[in-house]
Amino acid sequence: MPRKSTNVDMTAMCDVAFLLLTFFMLATKFKPDEPVTVVTPNSISDIPLPDDDIMLITVDPKGRIFFSVDNQNVRENIIRDVSEYKGLNLDEKQIKAFKYGSSVGVPFNQLKSYLSMNGAEQKDIDKTTAGVPVDTVADSETNELGAWIRIARNNNPKIRIAIKADSDATYPEVQKVIKTLEGWKIFKFNLITGLKAIPQGTAAYEASMGRAPKE
């Protein structure tokens, strides 16, 4: 028998690979850079988080607060207002660092030095920082989260609030965030949760199946 060639034509494989690659490039979004890992509790609610105009308040298991806004132009305006309001005199490099960065979890007095650091140093600070200071009175001097919220709303009145808190965060910490929001007359906000299936035999299950709830 004449010797057959063992050279396989890889063109098809190459096509498949680039098709998959194109799918992933077009249909997905980069995971947002988070300073701290938060495991949210699950709920049956399947309302997706809106795409834009979101202010994200992250609460980690130890109760530390981190603050972020999604739109980069709004971020730039916010940090300029903060710099003016608190007299921080941030230079352009630090403003750019905030604009392109992710969540911030340092008090105002450490903000200037935090924004001067590079990514790895910022990650180190994020591990040990105490978070944005907050308490139950919305407009007190020590409630810096209240100040961030006020400045963010001034720059984007349509902004919506999303709270991403860890399952093990104690209720008093989350209560401080909620009281701060209520102090600024924000009564409608979203809690980011994982998705869990609707338990069978309950009113919500019957409603999801399109049947009238059992009486």
Nearer to another protein, 116 or 190 (CB): 190
Give the C-alpha separation, 149 to 163, whole Å: 12
Nearer to another protein, 1 or 212 (CB): 212
118-121: long-range pairs with CB below 8 Å, 24+: none
- Closest-CA residue to 66 (of 92, 93, 32): 32
Nearer to another protein, 8 or 120 (CB): 8
Give the C-alpha separation, 39 to 73, whole Å: 29
- Closest-CA residue to 102 (of 59, 150, 68): 68
Residue ranges binding another protein (CB under 8 A): 6-11, 13-14, 17-18, 20-21, 24-25, 27-31, 40-49, 51, 59, 162, 164-175, 178, 181-182, 187-195, 198-199, 202-205, 207, 213, 215
Shortest Cβ 50–another protein spacing (Å): 8
Phi, psi of 54 (to 5 degrees): -115, 135
Shortest Cβ 150–another protein spacing (Å): 17
Give the C-alpha separation, 119 to 31, whole Å: 17
Give the C-alpha separation, 188 to 156, whole Å: 16
Shortest Cβ 159–another protein spacing (Å): 15
Shortest Cβ 91–another protein spacing (Å): 31
Nearer to another protein, 24 or 87 (CB): 24
Residue 90, classified by CB atoms within 10 Å of its CB into exposed (0-12), middle (13-18) or buried (19+), is buried
Shortest Cβ 174–another protein spacing (Å): 5
β-sheet with 65-69: strand ranges across = 65-69, 54-59, 160-165
Nearer to another protein, 90 or 181 (CB): 181
Nearer to another protein, 79 or 132 (CB): 132
Cβ count near 168 (within 10 Å):
12
Shortest Cβ 40–another protein spacing (Å): 8
